[in-house]
Amino acid sequence: MSREQLGVILFLTLSLCLLFFLTGPGSLKEREPLLSPAKQEAPRVPSGGKEFVLELEGSVERRGIILARPGMTAGEALEKAGGVYGGLSLPEEALGQKIERNSRLSVLPGREGKGSVLVEALPAAKLKVLSIPVSVNSATAEELDALPGIGPKMARAIVEFREKYGKFSSPEDLLRVPGIGPKKLAALNPHITVP
């Protein structure tokens, strides 16, 4: 066989394998959703003010994304995700920690069966990928920077305006921030919330 014929055979073999992978048993259509193994369904996007997104990772039975309510404790969130695995014992003060906004909760194993809980803000890039509206009243400059048409300078201006004059009561209040006009506000509206 010539080198060219071997190339054709290799190409056909790889094509058939790919075709089997995409259409055979266990294809991507039959797998569990990637977004939310904790609930086995994609979470709906929070409607502003009442619910937020919580990502669970680390030594958690069912990692993924769940909808949480303001004031939910780390312990309640872990219970909703099936608890921790590996027989980890977590400190009571960590389990009682209240979660108030879009966050990532990580359960980290430690020495001698003891673990720790780390709660941190969900990265701005993840909020954008998940199409989660950003609260202009509590967002950091980094979170605002991820919005369309808002760069680092404009994000800092929004935060400074909010600190100087108080919280925004409606999206239209953003028009008072120098550099935001009606067109920019129209582009921002689907991506922000003002609880």
- What confidence tier does 122 reach under pLDDT thresholds 50, 70, 90? confident
Evaluate if residue 84 carries a pLDDT over 80.
yes
User: Distance (Å, rounded) from C-alpha 181 to C-alpha 186?
Assistant: 9
Mean pLDDT of 152-160: 95
For 169-179, what is each residue's pLDDT tens digit?
999 999 999 99
State residue 169's pLDDT score: 94
CATH homologous superfamily of 133-193: Photosystem II 12 kDa extrinsic protein (1.10.150.320)
Q: How would DSSP label each residue in 106-132?
A: EEEE-GGGBEEEEEEEPPHHHHHHTTP
Please state, in angstroms and rounded to a whole number, the distance separating the CA atoms of residues 127 and 121.
Answer: 10
For residues 59-65, average pLDDT: 89
pLDDT at residue 108 tops 80: yes
Least confident of 10-19, 25-34, 42-51, 103-112: 25-34
Q: Which of 132, 168, 161, 166 is nearest to 147 (CA)?
A: 132
pTM across the whole model = 0.59
